[in-house]
Structure 1
Amino acid sequence: MGTLSQIKKNRRFIILQKLIVASLLIGFLATLLAISLKKITEHYETILFLKSSNFPWLLLIFPVFSLSVIYFLRTYLFKRKINKGIKEIFEVTIHKNKHLPVYKIPSHFINGMITVIFGGSTGVEVSTVVATATIGSIAQQKENTFRKYKTELISAGIAAGITALFGSPIAGILFVIEVISRKTTKVFFLTNGTAVLIAMGLLFLLDEKPLFAIAHLSWNYYAIPYFLLLGILAGFNSVYITKCVLFFKNYFSTLSRDYYKIIIGSCVLSVALFLIPELYGDGYHGVRAILYQENHFSISVLISAVLIIFLKPIITSVTLASGGDGGVFAPSLFTGAFLGFLLATVLNTYFNAQVIPINFVVLGMAAVLSASIHAPFTSIFLICGVTGNYNLFLPLLGVCLIAKYTSKFLYPYTVYSIIPVKTT
């Protein structure tokens, strides 16, 4: 009996060793993929955005070009294979015999990058999530002893990818807990912890800076009622985003020809980008503008903010429905930033509230993301990571929870959890 017990212990130890090695490799590859996609996309998006600012007629060409290229890539390179985004990760983790195929890595990397750099109004976050999940899925298939740890290894890839994008290992782990796996085990923390440690190590070596670095943030207790109002408005806004995505995906699915989708989507995108350049790509350039630049009140500023909040979900939905690659991650951050900015401007201008606008921009980003994906704790630590500042932690906690439960009360689904409408 003693010998048998020792053999079992040795086997468990060997499996743990293999899981650690696999997690190290997954974390390394997922981080490199995420950073590469982020850096390449940021670089070329900036170049093309500035070029389109000098030559606005390019905005008539970029959308039709990018959507056409993605269509031909999906048709001839990726053989019209189905792309369900994060929903496919759910299916794979639920069914033992399903796996994420290797082509998901180049497909989402290339298509996500092309979508954003040519102005598609989404981001590379969801593309990164699916591609890094595929790395975990491939690793799981390479070793028979890993069969029962498929969810843990897929989650490890995603956690490392989110960590690399936003500089927050806690957000990476919380995202897979709140959105992907919804369960934890000792092996989960072992694999995911190892992967995000590798991610943080690479971020340190590469000297990656926070996405929206803010040196000083402070808040006052008298602003709490206004924070609560922001949370409620964010809940309403997130439902609007979700409804837009579902409506336009359903509408575009009824179009009989793919080129109809490309033509209609391109026309809508071109007009919107021409009128409101802030809608270009992931929109992070617009967020930086309201974070770092002094904005003086004017009616035109208010009207622009209202139009951006109203149009961004529509343009994002059209981008996705007409063939673009991405999701609601970046659009939620972008819309939330402008929602917070709009509320703070109105409060200060018309009610003499004397609130700090930058706080509302930061809180708005977290609140709308929390409500859009029903992941408040992910949103809190993600925003702390991208700003490099934890001073707003308590307001973030309250605003994100209120936003999530307002959203769930109004509409209990997210774009990830809703069952798609089948069309004939």
Structure 2
Amino acid sequence: MKLNIREIGFTIINIVRKTYRAIFRTDYTSFIFLAIVTGAVVGLATVLFHHSIEFFNEIFFEQTAGGLYFLGAAAVIALPALGMFIQSLMIMAAPDIASKKGVAEVIKSVATKGSIIPFRNTIFHFFAPVISIGSGNTMGPEAPAAQLGGGVANKLAHLFKLSDSRKKVFTAAGSGAAIAAIFNTPLGGIFFALEIILLNEFQTATFSALILATVTSSAISRIFLGNKSVFIFHSPDVGGYHYLYLYAILGIIAGLISLLFIRYSHALDTLFNRKILKKYPQWIVMTLVGLIMGVCGYFYKDIFGIGYVGINNILANVLSWKVVIILLVLKMALVPLILNSGGFGGVFAPSLFIGASLGYLYAVGLNYFFGFQFDVTAFILVSMGAVLGGINSIPISAILIIFEMTKDYSFILPLMLAVVASTMVMQIALKKSVHEKHLERQGYRISQTKEGLLL
């Protein structure tokens, strides 16, 4: 019996060795294998990230809120403050790691030769946004997911001892795969990596890795999270083609709103770093910001969390235009406030929320003041893409993400027109992408050939 077990063990080892040699016999087969492995691991990590947000949301809003029963309905006010306080403790415990947040860190890793993303950074930036979003702060999961995917892929690349050029490719592929998994948008994930992480640097090998990784991660995401659209709406009627100019105007307005959002965020960044955080402890500042978030959520619950419920309420036309205006203002004000005070999270989902509110108000205004009978849904969806593309400097990704998230092709022409108009406004105003400007504010400069990141 022992001999048989030993023989079976040797047989398995031999099979593994032969498989390993077959896979890594050529660069091409090893490249395909590693891209698929990267997509699978990132997909599983993203699914865990998604479930962790839901888990912490349940802890905060059901168990913690239940423990504060003596506050009654007002208990929800304390939850975002508690989440911000916990994040401030994490920042105090690891200030250097905490400062390395967002997609910019992945861009720097990709653009810098031999750059390593420490795995402890990846773990930290897994839990911090989970606590932030789970406690009700009005942030999105996509930037942390992209950082998670890039960090996991970078770690795998180092374990497999890949060259610097291959590490760059797979780190970008990991970020794209995470976006594909979190949004269920494989094409959007590919072009997110190309437009943001790689700053539009295109190579055939890179594209192949992106495709394999995003397809694999999307498949895993659909297995565990399902394949249904998060948005609920009827098929929109975009009107006649002679009304396309109205969508172009909407795109320009979306660009101006995006520019206002970015300018406001930069102003807050300067205010917090140069004045407020030098006078007051960060834990006090963050807790107060959390209380402001909680008060706003107490009166307008659609502002809590990622915001998909609020977007669906806007699509369903169950909110009055007055409430939508308030939600738009609150989302515009709170997201940069939370981020710049030290909170964690992304701005993709808030961009969609801002776009939905703007599109709704634009369509209602056209119908009321000019006597049109437009389908409000079409303008909401188009505006979501326009603001997403404007705030994040991702025109192609924005079009594809909206198309894939809605699974509807009927409004693709006005969507493309509005997104291009929005990003045009941003390019005229900023001259560069939002992410390049952010890196410049940190003291980095992207070379013209995009071969390196120069300090």
TM-score w.r.t. the length of structure 2 is: 0.83
Among 29, 49, 60, the alignment partner of 2:41 is 29
User: Which residue does 2:86 correspond to in 1?
Assistant: 69
Report if the CA contact (8 A) 1:104-1:130 is conserved. no
Among 107, 118, 131, the alignment partner of 1:101 is 118
Deviations 1:142-168 (A, max 9, x none): 233432212210111112111112222
For the pair 1:352 / 2:371, whether they are aligned, the reply is: yes
Structure 1: runs of 5 or more not aligned: 1-9, 296-300
Percent identity, aligned pairs only, is 22
CA distance in 2, matches of 1:106, 1:58: 30
For the pair 1:123 / 2:140, whether they are aligned, the reply is: yes
Considering only aligned residues, what root-mean-square deviation do their CA atoms show, in Å? 2.6
Q: 1:313 to 1:201 in 2, by over 3 A?
A: same
Counterpart of 1:417 in 2: which secondary structure?
A: helix
User: Which residue does 1:276 correspond to in 2?
Assistant: 300
Q: 1:237 to 1:414 in 2, by over 3 A?
A: farther
CA distance in 1, matches of 2:95, 2:58: 28
Deviates more, 1:114-123 or 1:261-270: 261-270
CA distance in 2, matches of 1:50, 1:352: 46
User: Which residue does 1:246 correspond to in 2?
Assistant: 266
Report if the CA contact (8 A) 1:141-1:147 is conserved. no
User: Which residue does 1:226 correspond to in 2?
Assistant: 246
Structure 2: runs of 5 or more not aligned: 1-21, 444-455
User: Which residue does 2:10 correspond to in 1?
Assistant: none
Among 413, 417, 427, the alignment partner of 1:408 is 427
Q: In the TM superposition, what is the alpha-carbon distance from 1:107 to its structure 2 partner?
A: 1.5
Q: In the TM superposition, what is the alpha-carbon distance from 1:16 to its structure 2 partner?
A: 2.3
Among 270, 286, 290, the alignment partner of 1:266 is 290
Among 380, 386, 394, the alignment partner of 1:361 is 380
For the pair 1:329 / 2:348, whether they are aligned, the reply is: yes
CA distance in 1, matches of 2:59, 2:316: 20
- Number of residue pairs the alignment of both structures matches: 408
Report if the CA contact (8 A) 1:166-1:210 is conserved. no
Q: In the TM superposition, what is the alpha-carbon distance from 1:415 to its structure 2 partner?
A: 4.5
Q: 1:379 to 1:401 in 2, by over 3 A?
A: same
Equivalent residue letter for 1:194: L
Report if the CA contact (8 A) 1:242-1:414 is conserved. no
Q: In the TM superposition, what is the alpha-carbon distance from 1:263 to its structure 2 partner?
A: 3.6
User: Which residue does 1:319 correspond to in 2?
Assistant: 338
User: Which residue does 1:3 correspond to in 2?
Assistant: none
Report if the CA contact (8 A) 2:23-2:29 is conserved. no
Deviations 1:14-71 (A, max 9, x none): 2222222221111011111222222442465478568979943123311221111112
Report which of the two structures shows the higher radius of gyration computed on alpha carbons.
Answer: 2
Report if the CA contact (8 A) 1:174-1:378 is conserved. yes
User: Which residue does 1:114 correspond to in 2?
Assistant: 131
Among 227, 233, 236, the alignment partner of 2:256 is 236
Equivalent residue letter for 1:365: M
Equivalent residue letter for 1:74: I
Q: In the TM superposition, what is the alpha-carbon distance from 1:384 to its structure 2 partner?
A: 1.0
Q: In the TM superposition, what is the alpha-carbon distance from 1:219 to its structure 2 partner?
A: 1.9
CA distance in 2, matches of 1:414, 1:91: 15
CA distance in 2, matches of 1:57, 1:16: 59
User: Which residue does 2:218 correspond to in 1?
Assistant: 200
CA distance in 2, matches of 1:105, 1:218: 43
Among 184, 188, 194, the alignment partner of 1:177 is 194
Report if the CA contact (8 A) 2:85-2:287 is conserved. no
Q: In the TM superposition, what is the alpha-carbon distance from 1:191 to its structure 2 partner?
A: 1.2
Q: Superposition pairs for residues 16-95 of structure 1, below 5 Å? A: 16-42=28-54, 45=57, 55-76=72-93, 81-95=98-112
